[in-house]
Amino acid sequence: MRRSLHQLTLLFAIASGNALAAETTGVPGAPGTPGTAPGAPGSAGGAGRGLSVIANAASDKTHSITGGAGGAGGNGAAGGAGQNGGAAGAGGAGGDARLQVYGTPNVPGIFGPYLYAIAKGGNGGDAGLPGIGGAGASDGASAIGGAGGNASVTSVLWPGARKAEGVTIRVTGGNGGKGAGRAGSAQAALALIGYDSEPSAATVEVTAGQGGDALFPGNGADGGAASSSVSGKTNGPGLTLSSSTQGGHGGAGRGAGHRGGAGAAAQATMAASVSAGNGNIKTNIWLGGGIGGAGFSGADGGDGAAMRYAATPTFSTSGKVHHTVSVFGGSAGYSSGGMAGKAGASETTLELNDSRASDIQVFVISYGGRGGFADDGGTSSAGATGLARSSINGQGTIHSNTYGYGGEGGWQNDGGHGAAGGDAFSFSDAIGQSNVNSAAGAYGGTGGGARGAGGRGGDGGKGTARASGQGDAGDVLAGASVHGGSGGMGVGGADGGDGASAHIADSVTGSSNGSLTLGNGAVGGKGGNSEGGVAGNGGNASSRLSWTESKAAKISLSTSAEGGDSGTGSNGAFAGRSGSASATSALLSTAAGAKAEANSYAQGGFVMSGTLPGEVRAGSASARTTVVSAGDGSAYASAHGGRSINSLRPVRDGSATSHAFVIAAGAARAEATGIAGSDSTSDTTAIVYAEANGGGATYARAHGWGEYVDAQAKSRALGAADNAARTTGYGLHGTLKAESISAGWNRSEAGASAIATIQGTAFAVESSANIGGAAPTLRFDPERHSAFSHTSIAPGEASGLDGDFADGQPAGTGTMGVLVRPELPGGPLSSTLTAHFQFDLSTPGQLAFAMLDTLAEQSGFVSMALSISNHGTELFARSFDSLTAVELFFDHRLLLLGAAHAGLQDLLVTAAFTLDQPGGFGFEYALGIAAVPEPHNCLMMVLGLAALLAWTRLRQMA
């Protein structure tokens, strides 16, 4: 390799006969002379001197050359009477700058040596002005501006005795002279061999020249081409390479029927390798398309450069690879009185296959160009599309991050409409042998603004995204999100544009034997603001994901949706409407013993400040989650209605609907939250439902907030497993319910429910049930108003209740109670509590109800009604209208409820409470079964039931 580099050096030396100083500027061209006699032409400007230099890298720290500037053309002389004016002189061409740097950087420095290689093409000279024609004659002919000089740097560097801590190559093409002079191109090529013992780094910056503006009616010149090529190789611990390549901008055009020059595209290539060891590679590519030239006096704007980058880069190392590609489409040219140019789209594709790296992190970013601005009756143009696509396949950990951005729409003056924002697309695919993270995000462009009454801002652009991840045994994550573009703003009486809606459905896939996480997200665009008009509406958002998993040990699913906020109205402008949000997750996990979890989140958009055109409600929110799992399962749903940030007039907050449902062979958990706005005075509804069905520990929780609240939590479990439900909420009106059911063998079932009707109260209801599990304890919620019912069918019942229960063994125990705390005021509260005991009796018995303990606080008790039934037939009923009466009745009393026939028993205990002041009452009880006594054994039965009370007492103490 070293030998071939020396041969290349020799070729460089043969190609050029001169080697100049480290910093050299070519001689500028002489300016043209103006015409002297009437009608005489101006002379052309002289060309700047070009430079071609070969330099030894060790000879100096900085090697810089600049081509000479072209001379300006001379002006034509005015014509005499009846005589044409003199022709303008053409501008002189700028000199080229061609630099070749080779060898070993070997320059000492305080912080280590650096090497700079710089080449600048000379700017072209401006064309002269034509002479004015005499009376009845024409003006002189116009001339062309001088071409900008081309610039290039070619460098081959290898290590020497001293380390070059950084290499910078900077290349700039010359600008074309006025008179539509041609732009100079810019090119750079670097081959770097790094150090064995130290990290190596290099930066390449390339900027092509700008096309010359038209001096008179005519087209502007196109921008110059730009390209870069960077390669690096090292045996050392690391290599960092970076390139920035900007295509040239178009020159301005003038006059109707003409246009600005087109922006030029940029190109880049890069390769890096670490031959031995595990050195890290970090690379960055930045590419920018040239901007279209402006159009003046009725000329159209020039087109921005469309960028298309597709690469399969080569990176070779057993260490880490970090690679970033950012590509920008060229923005459209402005127009005054004509059509703005077309924005350049950006399409960026990266494909990487790597068999060595231990960790690969890739960022692929693609920006569509901005639309062109227009005024004086011109027409603006839309933002361009931004598309990003990546496909990464490696042996180690993979991080694929892909983002597409639509370009912003062009602004419109003079009462017209701003242009739409560009659409965005993002696709990410990643395959690895270890952990894999694949993320795709698509962001629609913002609509262009508008000025003047009757005008309107442009609408936001839409987004489309998809992601996939595949790994063998590690953690795999695939996430895709879409973001609607915001509406353009309206000023001076113009309306704001609408934010784009965002919708995504089943846009992620993945595979793993370990942990798999999949997620969809959607965000609606914000409405455009308005000064004196009507603000734009926020975009709706929806996210839906359904997945069936058969092999992952842990599977997590998530969806999120956020409605766009309305635009803000000022100077008397109306506020816009905000967007709604809907998120739905459905997961089926068939792998035995796997853990499955799904989460849905929805947030309605906010209504911002401004006057209101009528009844306006903030965006509603809906979240639904369903999980079915052969192992453990968890389902979470959270919906938050939009709110109002409107100081001019109250706005009704958005309603919320939230559902979480899970069925699992193992543990099960369901939690649902619904928040309908920020307070309870804006006509909002929160509907919340959580249901958990499990073979192991089971828990359901629901929480609701709004003016009207309907919240329920329901839990179902088997046998002795923990099984509880809890519902909390706040509202002016509504119902809260918690229900728990446990099933056992031989048709046995234990159930409990707590229902409360609320009026301006923050309240909680709780329930729990089990068969053969822990007996419930009697206690109040230490933090809030609450009602509870807890039940347990006693150990042994699940196997049949076949014995003689004359010894007082209980069939079940339970607690019930209601509490209203003084620090949490609210209206009158009604609560109904139930306990359900279902079991089989093989022989008849006597039913008994034992009152074990009570718990009372303060004096808010109004009334209580207690009833006990079997198969719907009432066995006992009593009402109480004072706390004293109920405490006296429940003081360790034993009720004989009558005979129980053999077969299925279906006992229901119901307690209905009413409280209007702080205070509460709770009680603990037991149900017992004894054999039907002979008449002479009646006393023995009573004694046996008394023993039941004692038995339950001892069980609690134990």
How many residues appear in the chain? 958
Residue-wise burial string across 103-127, b where 16 or more C-beta atoms lie within 10 A, e elsewhere: bbbbbeeeeebbbbbbbbbbbbbbb
Give the closest residue to 154 by CA, choosing from 41, 54, 85.
54
465: amino acid identity, one letter: A
Q: What letter would DSSP give residue 953?
A: H
Six token digits for residue 612: 């209101």
CB distance 427 to 479 below 8 Å: no
CA–CA gap between residue 662 and residue 633 (Å, rounded): 6
Give the closest residue to 175 by CA, choosing from 285, 261, 245, 100.
261
CA–CA gap between residue 654 and residue 660 (Å, rounded): 20
Tell me how crowded residue 17 is: count the other CB atoms within 10 A of its CB: 8
Six token digits for residue 883: 């706390």
Beta carbons within 8 Å of 861's beta carbon, 6+ residues apart: 882, 883, 886, 913, 915, 919, 920, 921
Six token digits for residue 794: 């006693």
Residue-wise burial string across 146-161, b where 16 or more C-beta atoms lie within 10 A, e elsewhere: bbbbbbbbbbbbbbee
Give kind and range of the element (H or E) at residue 952.
helix 938-957
CA atoms within 13 A on the CB side of 704: 35
End-to-end CA distance of the chain: 85
Parallel, antiparallel or unpaired: strands 51-56 and 733-743: unpaired
CA–CA gap between residue 314 and residue 386 (Å, rounded): 25
Q: What burial class does residue 132 get, using C-beta atoms within 10 Å of its C-beta: 0-12 exposed, 13-18 middle, 19+ buried?
A: middle
CA atoms within 13 A on the CB side of 629: 33
CA–CA gap between residue 534 and residue 512 (Å, rounded): 51
Six token digits for residue 523: 């965000």
Rama region for 720: left / alpha / beta (φ>0; ψ in -120 to 50; rest): alpha
CA–CA gap between residue 28 and residue 706 (Å, rounded): 78
Six token digits for residue 792: 């347990």
- Dihedrals φ, ψ of 953, to 5°? -55, -50
Give the closest residue to 319 by CA, choosing from 388, 218, 392, 235.
235
For CA atoms 228, 229, 233, 238, give the dihedral sign.
positive
CA–CA gap between residue 582 and residue 171 (Å, rounded): 52
Rama region for 15: left / alpha / beta (φ>0; ψ in -120 to 50; rest): alpha
In DSSP terms, 503 is beta-bridged to 542
CA–CA gap between residue 289 and residue 305 (Å, rounded): 5
Tell me how crowded residue 204 is: count the other CB atoms within 10 A of its CB: 26
Parallel, antiparallel or unpaired: strands 463-470 and 253-254: unpaired
CA atoms within 13 A on the CB side of 487: 38
Radius of gyration for the chain, computed over Cα atoms and rounded to the nearest angstrom: 40
CB distance 204 to 187 below 8 Å: no
Beta carbons within 8 Å of 918's beta carbon, 6+ residues apart: 820, 821, 822, 857, 858, 860
CA–CA gap between residue 948 and residue 943 (Å, rounded): 9
- Dihedrals φ, ψ of 867, to 5°? -140, 150
Q: What burial class does residue 58 get, using C-beta atoms within 10 Å of its C-beta: 0-12 exposed, 13-18 middle, 19+ buried?
A: middle
CA–CA gap between residue 749 and residue 742 (Å, rounded): 6
CB distance 324 to 352 below 8 Å: no
CB distance 165 to 206 below 8 Å: no
Tell me how crowded residue 681 is: count the other CB atoms within 10 A of its CB: 12
Residue-wise burial string across 920-936, b where 16 or more C-beta atoms lie within 10 A, e elsewhere: bbbbbbbbbbbbebeee
CA–CA gap between residue 40 and residue 37 (Å, rounded): 5
Percentages of the chain per state (helix, strand, coil), in multiples of 5: 5, 50, 45
pLDDT at position 613 is: 62
Average pLDDT along the chain, 958 residues, taken 10 residues at a time? 40 40 85 96 97 91 95 96 96 98 72 80 98 94 98 90 76 99 98 81 97 97 98 87 98 98 97 81 97 98 98 90 98 98 98 92 98 96 98 95 98 92 98 95 98 96 98 93 98 96 98 96 98 94 98 97 94 89 98 96 92 76 98 98 74 92 98 82 86 97 95 96 95 94 88 92 93 90 87 59 42 91 68 92 85 82 91 94 86 87 91 86 87 48 48 49
CB distance 412 to 380 below 8 Å: yes
CA–CA gap between residue 515 and residue 512 (Å, rounded): 6
Q: What letter would DSSP give residue 892?
A: S
Q: Would you give the distance in Å from CA 922 to the centre of its chain? A: 49
CB distance 532 to 564 below 8 Å: no
pLDDT at position 823 is: 63
Helix or strand or coil: residue 120?
strand
pLDDT at position 840 is: 82
Give the closest residue to 724 by CA, choosing from 737, 744, 712, 739.
739
CA–CA gap between residue 203 and residue 606 (Å, rounded): 46
Tally of helices (H runs) and strands (E runs) in the chain:
3, 59
Strand locations in 604-732 (E): 621-629, 632-640, 656-664, 668-675, 685-694, 698-705, 708-718, 723-731
pLDDT at position 939 is: 43
CA–CA gap between residue 125 and residue 130 (Å, rounded): 15
CB distance 496 to 457 below 8 Å: yes
CA–CA gap between residue 810 and residue 742 (Å, rounded): 18
493: amino acid identity, one letter: G
Six token digits for residue 378: 């011109």
In this prediction the pTM is 0.91
CA–CA gap between residue 32 and residue 357 (Å, rounded): 61
Helix or strand or coil: residue 806?
helix
